[in-house]
Chain A
Amino acid sequence: MDPTQSKQEYQKYVDKKSPNSPTGKNIFNAFWTGGLICSIGQIIMNICKERGFDQTTSGTIVSIILIAIAAILTGLNIFNKIGKFCGAGSLVPITGFANSIVSPAMEYKSEGYVMGVGGKMFTVAGPVLVFGISSAIIVGLLYLIFNTQAVTLV
């Protein structure tokens, strides 16, 4: 039968014909590599605390170190290979965020430092920033309104 008789039928036929991403393998790799990255973060955190930093400062140090590592690996053309293997495992932790900012900055360097690097740096991370900050504000407001402890803190 001709699968192109209607758009719906063709879409169904194409879905059947097109191989899916290897979801099982991708999820498994994302799970353990994501866990590994977070464990590395925890190790750094513990070392910081042992050296006498408080919880907040230690957290900041972890972020800085992981971002630096991801940014350097992006610059060395290594992170894209890690990302291809790990998928969400390297994308969801802060390493993915660093990569999403450094990679367009590198790509658009040819358009100059202002409009290229500056203008395009957030093309990939932009939506994450906009919706991340927006939802943080909304959650913060709700917290402020409904949590009396927060009101007393203010």
Chain B
Amino acid sequence: MKKIGKQTIKFDTPPTISECSSIVGPKEADGPLCKYFDQTLEDEFWGEETWEKAESKIIKENVSGLIAKSGIATTDIDFIISGDLLNQCISSSFGLRDTNIPYLGIFGACSTFAESLCIGSICVEGFAKNVICATSSHFCTAEKQFRFPLELGNQRPPTAQWTVTGSGAALLSQDGQGPFITHITPGKIVDLGIKDANNMGAAMAPAFVDTLITHFKDTGRDPSYYDAIISGDLGYIGKEISIDIAKSRGYNIASNYNDCGVMIFDKNAQDTHSGGSGCGCCASVFSGFWFKHLKEKKVKKLLLIATGALMNSTSSQQGESIPGIAHAVAIEV
């Protein structure tokens, strides 16, 4: 592997995404992508006492489902790289504590899935045979930690996004027939002073465009090179803003760009306002929808850019602005 341009890494023997697995909650199952997910849940608790335990179970079952699906022995998996939204990433560490596989817990807010794919592919290119990259999020645990109790009778603004209940996991392998991760462009933190925690799309959009354009400049590619450019969870407003900013900088992405947060829910029927968000949004939509399209070669060149808002409830209350981040992963068949 080598660094090209400012911040892109090009792989000499690109890692294969050999298998993906996804589990989503009941609301996501009512959405337009239902048939693509491996498993859908009937309720938010999944037989557990607390939402936190339910989220841990989701990531645990998703990872074991992935291992079973791939047919690889657990002992042949070198690392799990995983993260979520809860304080100190407890969903991942509690959910995966019995796996007996070396574990790296990471945090990149909603960009965590792309971050784990970046680190995972570096490991696979370097020394590891098989690495699992997984993330999860849960609507109820996220609301509890970041916003208000669920039963509180308040009104959500139209810019608010709906945290996805679900998990996505990908198995990266040294040997395989693709889809391959050919390039990664880890992003830098971009903060344009947005303070409204109910408008995450606007806070993260500049980071998305920064990583996107840096990726194009580093690789010498342009938007038309890719069949699809996918952002993590900018939602409807963030998506529009991103198209605008990219256009103003001379890149037209309107025709082949979409957002996982826009795709996962039916905005009008499901009352999800600006769309989905959370670590599980991009992970489940990629693992469920896009991976199958790559496998069937309906999409041959995909640029996945997951975005994250690097804030917590304390920083919001103290009036801090929201730093955004975006990591790009180029996947080709």
Contact = CB atoms under 8 A, between A and B. Distances in A.
Contacts, number: 100
B194 A10 contact: yes
Given A17-B237, A19-B158, A100 B152 contact: yes
A102 B159 contact: no
Contact of A4 (B151, B152, B153, B245): B245
Contacts of A99: 151-153
B240 interface: yes
Interface residues of A, number: 40
B225 interface: no
A17 B149 contact: no
Contacts of B158: 18-22
Given A1-B248, A2-B249, A18 B151 contact: no
Please report whether the interface of chain B is mostly helix, strand, loop or mixed according to DSSP.
loop
Contacts of B156: 84
Interface in A57-72: none
B153 A2 contact: no
Interface stretch (A44-52, A75-83, A138-146): A75-83
B89 interface: no
Interface in B296-321: none
Interface string A105-118: 01110100000000
Contacts of B98: none
B149 A107 contact: yes
A21 B248 contact: no
Interface in B223-265: 237, 240-241, 244-245, 248-249
Nearest to B140: A107
A91 B149 contact: no
Contact of B245 (A3, A77, A106, A108): A3
A19 B154 contact: no
B199 A14 contact: yes
Contacts of A107: 144, 149-151
B149 A124 contact: yes
> B49, B193, B249: which has the most chain A beta carbons within 10 Å?
B193
B151 A110 contact: no
Contact of B153 (A22, A91, A108): A91
A77 B193 contact: no
B26 to A, nearest CB: 14
B157 interface: yes
Contacts of B240: 17
Nearest to A83: B153
A95 B241 CA distance: 39
Contacts of B288: none
B162 to A, nearest CB: 13
B50 interface: yes
B193 A11 contact: yes
B152 A21 contact: no
Nearest to B202: A14
Contact of A26 (B50, B149, B155, B244): B155
A96 interface: yes
Contact of A84 (B144, B149, B153): B153
24 contacts: A3-B248, A4-B209, A4-B245, A10-B192, A14-B194, A19-B158, A19-B159, A22-B158, A74-B151, A79-B153, A80-B152, A80-B153, A83-B152, A87-B154, A87-B155, A99-B151, A100-B152, A103-B149, A103-B152, A104-B149, A106-B149, A108-B149, A110-B49, A110-B51
Interface of A: 1-4, 7, 10-11, 13-14, 17-22, 26, 74-75, 77, 79-84, 86-87, 90-91, 96, 99-100, 102-104, 106-108, 110, 124
Interface of B: 49-52, 144, 148-159, 192-194, 199, 202, 206, 209, 237, 240-241, 244-245, 248-249
CB-CB nearest 9 A-B residue pairs:
A83-B153, A7-B193, A103-B151, A107-B149, A103-B149, A2-B248, A110-B50, A14-B202, A103-B152
Given A84-B153, A99-B152, 6 more contacts: A4-B245, A17-B237, A17-B241, A18-B202, A99-B151, A106-B149
